[in-house]
Copies of this chain bind each other. A is one copy, B any other.
Amino acid sequence: MFSLFPDGMTDDNTNFSSLEGSDVGLVSCSSFAFNEPFSFELGGSIPSFKLCYETYGKLNADCSNAILVCHALSGDHHVAGRYTAEDRKPGWWHSIVGPGRPLDTNRYFVLGVNCIGGCRGSTGPGSVNPLTGSPYGLDFPQLTMRDMVRAQYRLVRALGIERLHAVIGGSMGGMQSLLFGTEYPDAVRCVIALACAARQNTQAIAFNEVGRIAILQDPGWQNGRYPVENGPRAGLAVARMLAHITYLSEKSLERRFGRERKAHSAGAGPFGVEFEVESYLRHQGHSFVNRFDANSYLYITKAIDRFDLAGGGALEDAFAPMKARALVVGFSSDWLYPPAQNREIALAMLRAGKNAAYVEVDSSDGHDSFLLPSPLLHQTVRAFLDAVG
């Protein structure tokens, strides 16, 4: 068995016995089919679409207790719980959702949605185009963060919810939370954005571009028309390995792996696995390829790179329509979306006269800190939601 975390941490975020509450138990996912066209911000449309989602807790009588959780690039609708008792891994944000947890399912109806353009059940470039009977591939329209948020809003309305209690997310999910607050000001009471930025910075574009080039140059990509079971696996693995480094921190890598040598080298030859960190990265790349579609990776990273909330203007102007109370959280060791870029969001909200708070959480786990159970993060989210009431 491949050991990811030599220091005893587990791979599945279940190491939070010291944290409050209990988990949501067994869950199942649902799908909502929209038999109507969806038009994309940059042009083009699809004749119909579906969104895959999961819910935890109960929607109350006046439909006022819903919290939408927006996922990050590699996430999906499976936010919490397990599908079967044997599932090794729970949902990606299992630690924060459940009875007595910050997203308290005794109080809230929590909703996770796989974004449009994704590959985990919602319609994306890997889905079959009903007009041709073949997967969309590059015929899928170009994607933006606004498209993703608009699709989620359609689902929220379809579920009978006029106003969300909160929208919360980290990384790309944080960007979507911000957009939800500005695009649908009457549809959300509070916005919680973690580990994100109001605009994708140049370095982050650069990293995404290298990942895309790795996919595009893989002969298996075939201009996006690859068979489902045999796509640009090598290129996608490289993209993921690279991105994964940007989600961690030099300190956390040093702490977890240091310069430890792999006892039994997996790869033969002079460039097989030598260091533990190499083994870890190869495992990350390999397992990602089995759960993610390369075209979705291209479309979603492009949507992230295009994200610029201010659109060349002043950021406070972008927040002018927002009515929600807002909480922005940065993480000290996050170098992909550094604390300063998160703080800037809250400051712009304040300049726009909004009710906004900024908290910087001290962490050594880099960008991924927002995914990991942390008492300070949990207390912060809980206190904010309690304060809103």
Which residue of the partner chain B has the closest CB to A207? B245
Of B213, B248, B259, B282, which is within 8 A of A308 by CB? B259
Distance in angstroms from A241 CB to nearest chain B CB is 5
Which residue of the partner chain B has the closest CB to A299? B270
Distance in angstroms from A322 CB to nearest chain B CB is 22
A259 x B200 contact (CB < 8 A):
yes
A210 with B259, Cβ < 8 A, contacts A138-B269, A254-B202 known? no
Residue A206 at the B interface, CB < 8 A? yes
Distance in angstroms from A257 CB to nearest chain B CB is 5
Q: Which residues of chain B are near A335, meaning CB under 8 Å?
A: 250, 335
Of B206, B254, B270, which is within 8 A of A245 by CB? B206
Which of A203, A218, A338 has the most B CB atoms < 10 Å from its CB? A203
Residue A242 at the B interface, CB < 8 A? yes
B270 x A302 contact (CB < 8 A):
yes
Taken together, the copies of this chain in the complex come to: 2
A220 to B19, CA, bound (A): 51
Interface of A is mostly: helix
Q: Which residues of chain B are near A259, meaning CB under 8 Å?
A: 199-200, 202, 205, 308
A275 to B302, CA, bound (A): 11
Q: Which residues of chain B are near A242, meaning CB under 8 Å?
A: 207, 210, 242
A201 to B277, CA, bound (A): 11
Residue A170 at the B interface, CB < 8 A? no
A237 x B250 contact (CB < 8 A):
no
Q: Which residues of chain B are near A213, meaning CB under 8 Å?
A: 237-238, 241, 281-282, 285
Q: Which residues of chain B are near A45, meaning CB under 8 Å?
A: none
Of B203, B250, B254, which is within 8 A of A250 by CB? B203
Residue A2 at the B interface, CB < 8 A? no
Question: What are 21 sample pairs from A and B whose C-beta atoms fall under 8 A apart?
Answer: A200-B259, A201-B254, A202-B254, A203-B250, A206-B245, A206-B281, A209-B241, A210-B238, A210-B241, A210-B242, A213-B237, A213-B241, A213-B282, A214-B214, A217-B218, A217-B237, A218-B234, A271-B298, A274-B302, A275-B305, A335-B335
Besides A200-B259, A270-B302, 9 more A-B contacts (Cβ < 8 Å) are A142-B270, A202-B254, A209-B277, A210-B281, A213-B282, A213-B285, A223-B269, A274-B305, A335-B335
